Amino acid sequence: MSEQQSVTEMFDDISPRYDFLNHLLSFHIDKTWRRKTSQWVSQDHPASILDVATGTADLAIRLAKDCPSSQIIGIDLSEKMLEIGKKKITNKQLGDRIKLQIGNAEQIPFPDSTFDAVTTAFGVRNFEHLEQGLQEMFRITKDKGMIAVLEFSHPEKGFIRIPYRCYSKHILPLAGRIISRHHAAYRYLPDTIEAFPKAEIFMNLLMKAGFSEVGKREYSGGIATLYYGRAQKKHVLSQ
């Protein structure tokens, strides 16, 4: 079994309690991070959005609220996570605005330059090949389209750094294991956060993939970071 298949199977296993645990273990701050990300994207008024590694569609649903003229597609490898997302979309009567489907972030099943914006929340750290996934996100984004990546990060300064490290390494895995009854999943989370590239390195990877005007916005003292950029394709083609 490949690493990607193992990760997909893990998310299938924890899907029934995924939303509950996300909100509980983040003290519901994750909702604020998604709202700020969605509002950032809404400034562009994108007509079409692809939400990569959409999970249970929390960001896609928020985008539908803040981008009322957008059509949104969410892709993910976990069928069970998507099933939960589809129920939420139906309950909120958003089926005409949001479509979910199985899709690999490293082989996105859409033609070049299809979407005005591409987003992802807490998904890129699960990519088996990060650079390939970012290149795919660039490929399917239209010229001058936006990328918005919300991801956990490493608080480097201030009072929050030490307690956050303690929480992520010890308290989060224990609480996640007890509630989800999945021994590996909530050890996996802090491990992937720790292994994720530092901000400057990740922004360089975005630029290497083809994005320009790359920047970041830190949330909650650097616990989470929104990375953004633009797909300047005409510039790339003229090189």
CATH number at residue 232: 3.40.50.150
CB-side neighbour CA atoms (13 Å) of 168: 20
Separation CA 160–CA 27 (nearest Å) = 15
Instruction: Give the lowest-confidence range in 1-10, 119-128, 219-228.
Output: 1-10
Q: Are 105 and 136 in contact (CB under 8 A)?
A: yes
Residue 222 maps to a domain? yes
Separation CA 74–CA 85 (nearest Å) = 9
Residue 160 maps to a domain? no
Separation CA 101–CA 148 (nearest Å) = 20
Of 2, 113, 5, 124, the C-alpha closest to 53 is 124
The residue among 105 and 6 whose pLDDT is bigger is: 105
124 Cβ contact list (under 8 Å, min separation 6): 52, 53, 105, 130, 133, 134, 149, 151, 196
pLDDT for 105: 96
Sign of CA dihedral 187, 190, 194, 200: positive
Separation CA 10–CA 5 (nearest Å) = 9
Q: Are 86 and 100 in contact (CB under 8 A)?
A: yes
- Does position 73 have pLDDT exceeding 90, yes or no? yes
What's at 206, amino acid-wise?
A: L
pLDDT for 180: 64
User: 11 — phi, psi (to 5°)?
Assistant: -70, -35
The greatest distance separating any two alpha carbons of the chain, rounded to the nearest whole angstrom, comes to 55
Q: Are 216 and 203 in contact (CB under 8 A)?
A: yes
Residue 22 maps to a domain? yes
Segment 89-146, tens digit of pLDDT: 999 999 999 999 999 999 999 999 999 999 999 999 999 999 999 999 999 999 999 9
Residue 181 maps to a domain? no
Beta strands in 19-140 (DSSP E): 48-52, 71-76, 98-102, 115-121
Segment 21-70, tens digit of pLDDT: 676 667 789 999 999 999 999 999 999 999 999 999 999 999 999 999 99
pTM over 0.85, yes/no? yes
Separation CA 42–CA 22 (nearest Å) = 24
pLDDT for 155: 81
Residue 185 maps to a domain? no
Q: Give residue 137's domain range.
A: 3-154+197-237
- Does position 214 have pLDDT exceeding 50, yes or no? yes
Residue 190 maps to a domain? no
Percent of the chain with pLDDT over 90: 65
Separation CA 33–CA 27 (nearest Å) = 12
Q: What is the mean pLDDT of the chain?
A: 89
- Does position 14 have pLDDT exceeding 60, yes or no? yes
Residue 170 maps to a domain? no
Residue 205 maps to a domain? yes
Q: Are 86 and 18 in contact (CB under 8 A)?
A: no
pLDDT for 238: 46
Q: Reduced to 3 states, what is the DSSP secondary structure of residue 182?
A: coil
Domain count of the fold of the chain: 1
